[in-house]
A and B are shown apart, each in its own frame.
Chain A
Amino acid sequence: MTLLHWAVLSPFIAAILIPFLYKYLKRIHTGWFVLILPLVLFIYFLSFIPRTSSGEAILNNLDWVPSLGINFNVYVDGLSLLFALLITGIGALVVLYSIYYLSKRKEKLNNFYVYLLMFMGAMLGVVLSDNLIVIYVFWEVTSIASSLLISYWYTREKSIYGAQKSMYITVFGGLSMLAGFSLLYVIAGTFSIRELIANADIVMASGLFIPAMILVLLGAFTKSAQFPFHIWLPDAMEAPTPVSAYLHSATMVKAGIYLVARLTGVFGGAPEWFWIITIAGLVTLTWGSISAVRQKDLKGILAFSTISQLGLIMSLLGTGSAAFYFQDGDNALYMTAILAAVFHLINHATFKGSLFMAAGIVDHETGTRDIRKLGGLMTIMPITATISLIGLASMAGLPPFNGFLSKEMFLTGMLNVTEYGIFHLETFGFIIPIIAWIASVFTFLYCILMFSKTFMGKFDSSKLKVQHVHEAPIGMLISPIILAVLVVVFGLFPNLLAYSIIEPAMAAIAPGILSPGEFFDVHITHWHGFLAPELWMTIGVVVLGVILFMTFKKWENTAFYRGERDLFNYAYDYGYDGLVKGSQWLTRIQMTGRLRDYFIYMCTFIILIMAYTMYRYNLPAIQSLDLSPVPIYVWFVIAVFIGSVIVIPFINNRVALIIATSVSGFIVALLFVLFRAPDLALTQLLIETVSVILFMLVFYHLPKLKKVKTPPKLKAVKLIISIGFGLMITLGSLSAFSLGQEANYSSISEYYTENAKEEAGGYNIVNVILVDFRGLDTMLEVLVVALAVLTVVSLIRLRFKGSEDV
Chain B
Amino acid sequence: METLVTILAGVLVTVATYLLLSKSLIRVIIGTAILTHAAHLLIMVLAELKTGTVPIVGEGDPVDPLPQALILTSIVIGFAVTAVSLVLAYRTYQEIGTDKLDELRGEPDE
Contact = CB atoms under 8 A, between A and B. Distances in A.
A45 B42 CA distance: 78
A631 B5 CA distance: 12
Given A727-B10, A757-B57, A777 B66 contact: no
Interface residues of A, number: 93
Contacts of B73: 770, 777-778, 781
A657 interface: yes
B72 A645 contact: no
B26 to A, nearest CB: 6
Interface string A725-748: 111011001101100110000011
A646 B24 contact: no
A703 B15 contact: no
Contact of A726 (B10, B22, B101): B10
A718 interface: yes
B7 A730 contact: yes
A763 interface: yes
Contacts of A702: 26, 89-90, 93, 99
B39 to A, nearest CB: 9
A725 B14 contact: yes
Contacts of A645: 11-12, 15, 34
Contact of B106 (A593, A695, A753): A593
A679 interface: yes
B41 to A, nearest CB: 7
Contacts of B80: 784-785, 787-788
Interface in A763-784: 763-766, 769-770, 774, 777-778, 781, 784
A318 B4 CA distance: 75
Nearest to B77: A784
Contacts of B12: 645, 664, 726
A648 B106 contact: no
Given A701-B90, A733-B6, A595 B28 contact: yes
Interface residues of B, number: 86
B64 A683 contact: no
A516 interface: no
Contacts of A718: 18, 21-22
A680 B72 contact: yes
A590 interface: no
B34 A680 contact: no
A435 interface: no
A675 interface: yes
A784 to B, nearest CB: 5
Contacts of A631: 1
A698 B89 contact: yes
Contact of A733 (B45, B52, B91): B45
A649 B89 contact: no
A668 B75 CA distance: 11
A628 interface: yes
Contacts of B46: 733, 736-737, 740
Given A625-B2, A630-B1, A722-B17, A747 B66 contact: yes
Contact of B42 (A648, A691, A733): A733
Give the residue among B12, B22, B55, B82 with the most A Cβ atoms within 10 A.
B55
Contacts of A600: 21
A792 B84 contact: yes
Interface stretch (A118-126, A548-556, A634-642): A634-642
Interface in B82-97: 82-84, 86-91, 93-94
Contact of B88 (A680, A777, A795): A795
Interface in A634-681: 634, 638, 641-642, 645-646, 648-649, 657, 661, 664-665, 668, 671-672, 675-680
A752 B70 CA distance: 14
A769 B56 CA distance: 12
A462 interface: no
A676 to B, nearest CB: 5
Contacts of B4: 630, 634, 638
Contacts of B44: 671-672, 675, 677
B49 A703 contact: no
Nearest to B78: A687
A676 B53 contact: yes
Interface in A548-601: 584, 588, 592-596, 599-600
Contacts of A764: 55-57
B76 A784 contact: yes
Contacts of A595: 28, 101, 104
Contacts of B7: 730
A756 interface: yes
A749 B64 contact: yes
A752 to B, nearest CB: 6
Interface string A591-623: 011111001100100000000000000000000
Interface of B: 1-24, 26-28, 30, 33-34, 37-38, 40-42, 44-58, 62-66, 68-69, 71-73, 75-77, 79-84, 86-91, 93-94, 98-99, 101-102, 104-106, 108, 110
22 contacts: A584-B110, A630-B4, A631-B1, A638-B8, A646-B11, A668-B37, A676-B53, A677-B71, A687-B79, A702-B90, A721-B17, A726-B12, A726-B17, A729-B42, A730-B9, A737-B6, A747-B47, A749-B47, A757-B57, A764-B56, A769-B65, A784-B76
Given A593-B105, A749-B65, 13 more contacts: A596-B22, A646-B15, A648-B19, A687-B75, A694-B86, A719-B18, A721-B17, A722-B14, A730-B6, A733-B6, A737-B46, A748-B66, A764-B56
Question: Which 8 residue pairs across A and B have the least CB separation, nearest first?
Answer: A726-B14, A730-B10, A788-B80, A722-B17, A722-B18, A765-B65, A593-B105, A769-B69
